[in-house]
Homo-oligomer: A and B are copies of this chain.
Amino acid sequence: MNIEINFQTHVPIYIQIMDQIKHKIAANEIAPGDQLPTVRQMAADLRVNFNTIARAYRLMDEDGIISTQHGRGTFILDQPTGKEAEKLRRQDLERLTHHYLIEAHKLGHSPEEVKDIFLETLDLWEKNGAPSLPDDKK
């Protein structure tokens, strides 16, 4: 499932799980009908208590994003389309941006420094058609 938990940030584990699953849905990495790992399986992968996974699943279930079924498993539901989907994509981008800046800030970088490398890397994207790493020759 390829979810990664950062135990040092003080963002709750269940929030991190929800964010990453929502992102995977928005990015079409997982599709409606797909089964998520069982609470115990994902808990073992992430080395976390399975109640923490169950909590993330329950909240997403209440939001109508997934369907958890006692004794059966949990599955991705049909996602909103059109305008709603567009809004979700936008929100996810905002979240990604915020997360990016938070991490850069924690590393001690200044806004100017971040802006420089961002624009440089964005430039490569526009030139190459896809994001790529700047050459590290210096």
Chain B residues near A136 (CB-CB < 8 A): 91, 94
B67→A8 contact, CB < 8 A? yes
Number of copies: 2
Do most interface residues of chain A lie in helix, strand or loop, or is the interface mixed?
Answer: helix
A residues within 8 Å of B by Cβ? 7-8, 10, 12, 23, 26-29, 67, 69-70, 72, 77, 89, 91-109, 111, 113-115, 117-119, 121-122, 125-126, 130-134, 136
A97→B109 contact, CB < 8 A? no
B121→A107 contact, CB < 8 A? no
Chain B residues near A99 (CB-CB < 8 A): 100
B97→A121 contact, CB < 8 A? yes
A107→B27 contact, CB < 8 A? yes
**Shortest CB–CB separation between residue A123 and chain B, in angstroms?**
9
A-B contact list, 29 entries, CB within 8 Å: A7-B67, A7-B72, A12-B70, A23-B107, A26-B107, A27-B103, A29-B106, A89-B108, A91-B136, A92-B107, A93-B114, A93-B117, A94-B117, A94-B133, A94-B134, A94-B136, A95-B133, A96-B100, A97-B114, A97-B118, A99-B100, A101-B121, A101-B122, A105-B130, A111-B125, A111-B126, A114-B122, A115-B119, A115-B122
